[in-house]
Structure 1
Amino acid sequence: MTAYTGQKLLDALDAHGLPDWQGLPACIGARFLSGDFATGLELVTRIGAAAEEANHHPDVTLTFPYVAIRLTSHDTGAVTERDLELAGRISELAASAGVVADPKVPALLELGMDTADRDAIAPFWAVLLTGDASNVSGPDVIDPAGQMPLLWFQDCEEHAVPHQRLHVDVSVPAAAAPERIRAAVEAGGTVVDEAQAPSFTVLADADGNRACVCTLENRP
């Protein structure tokens, strides 16, 4: 089964006609504006029935004004046709209930930590964040409960005096990235490096702490 990532995922969403959904790292997400809890609950019930029928189950968050959904195929660690097909069905259910999506809202927070010795610090962070030192997969600390953002480690050289070891990656829809960057600059930030934009743009706060606004556009 084809695993869609990066630009291929964005292209697949376009090809399947899924404007409600946005590509994020290893998943697709949508937020449907139910407006009230009862409407949202009814939509979730319908989505649950469709998921059972497809034998493929999304992560669903029900709140008073909206229903947020993420889809991924855990056996591949990426988005597959199963997710795209179920996403289309969910959009149909929302439309039949008179519920519209806000396609610029979905976002995913990741934490990136620079280190010259990932193996030395990964167990500590896995225990700290998840309570289990074994929750490390490749370069990532994974929270099986889905309560913590993904923490990943980026190789760097040793420094006699450590530089900033922790930065924040915020992944947003490509269409939303320019506004997010503009707002951050207006709030006192600066653009440090936009050579890799729109894949990612490096910003800094007034103290020099860095963070990246990321999208899947033009990524492999």
Structure 2
Amino acid sequence: MSDTDILSNQQLRDYLEELPHWREIPGAIAAVFQTRTSAAAIELFSDIAGAAEMDNHHPDVDWRYNRLFVSTTSHDAGGAITARDIALASKISERAEALGAKPRVDLIGAVEIGIDTDDPAAIAAQWAAGLGYKVQEDGSLADPDHRKPAIWFQQTATPNENRLHLDIWNPYSQSAKVLDALKEQGVAIDEQYAPGFYVATDRQGNRFCLCTEADR
């Protein structure tokens, strides 16, 4: 397999079995590492930058005190995950372990905004113009700087009264804890699409989806 070949869902699942620090999120794989100090986080950041330069393949890294939130995807492959991402993730994990960084799978996540519409093409460019986003090949919208949440259009002949909802991505291994917290708060949970996603409705009828990488 070439380093630039896009991985199938099964190939990605197989690779992630060997990368316990990493999980799939929309359009990328992600990990979070926690160090003892902020200085140690900077050292790990520097090691990640060195690995990225060596591979000429650069992840997104968000430094927050003693935590690094890392994600990687292949932008030249249309934002898909390739063998290069797996190789880079493996090197990052090796450097994190060498520095004694703690993986925090429980902190991996992402948020997308879903919009119900019977005609996505009629509104996609308007949202893109307002946010400075780019329209993707699949019709969704993405921030060119990869900082703001992605937007996707849920095409339906009967849009919900509340047309906007959040898709909250968590690793499947963490979903039970989140579901329990929602149920304790009296949130109605529709599990007919589980474990790929659960539709949550608050007491005022607002919806959001708890999404996982499982069974997709």
TM over 0.5: yes
Aligned to 1:74: 75
Identity %: 38
Q: Deviations over 1:109-143 (max 9, x none)?
A: 0111010111221122112222x6xx212321111
Partner of 1:90: 92
Q: Which residue of 1 aligns with 2:135?
A: 136
**9, 14, 29: which one aligns with 1:11:** 14
Q: Does 1:195 align with 2:192?
A: yes
1:40 aligned partner: 41
* Structure 2 contact 172–213 (Cα < 8 Å) conserved: yes
2:19 corresponds to which letter in structure 1? L
Residue of structure 2 equivalent to 1:157: 157
Q: Structure 1 residues 8 and 104, CA, compared in 2 at 3 Å: closer, same or farther?
A: farther
Q: Distance in 2 between matches of 1:113 and 1:8?
A: 31
1:47 Cα shift?
A: 1.0
**Does the 8 A contact of 1:203 with 1:210 survive in 2?**
yes
Q: 1 CA distance for matches of 2:10 and 2:212?
A: 9
Q: Which residue of 1 aligns with 2:29?
A: 28
Aligned counterpart in structure 1 of residue 165 of structure 2, from 143, 152, 167? 167
Structure 1 residues not aligned, in runs of 5+: none
Distance 1:212 1:148 in 2: 18
What is the aligned length? 211
Conserved? CA contact 1:168–1:211, under 8 Å: yes
Tell me the amino acid that sits aligned with residue 182 of structure 1. Answer: D
* Paired letter, 1:212: C
Give the whole-Å Cα distance in 2 for the aligned partners of 1:210 and 1:123: 24
Cα pair 1:24 1:216 within 8 Å, conserved: yes
Distance 1:113 1:71 in 2: 26
Runs ≥4 in structure 1, deviation > 6 angstroms? none
User: More relative contact order in 1 or in 2 (CA 8 Å, sep 6+)?
Assistant: 1
For residue 170 of structure 1, report the CA deviation from its aligned partner: 0.8
Superposition RMSD on alpha carbons, in Å?
A: 1.6
Amino acid at match of 1:81: A
Look up the match of 1:57.
58
What TM-score, normalized by structure 1, do the two folds share?
0.90
> What is the match of residue 109 of structure 1?
111
| Structure 2 unaligned spans of 5+ | none
Q: Structure 1 CA distance, aligned partners of 2:157 and 2:98?
A: 55
How high is the TM-score relative to the length of structure 2?
A: 0.92
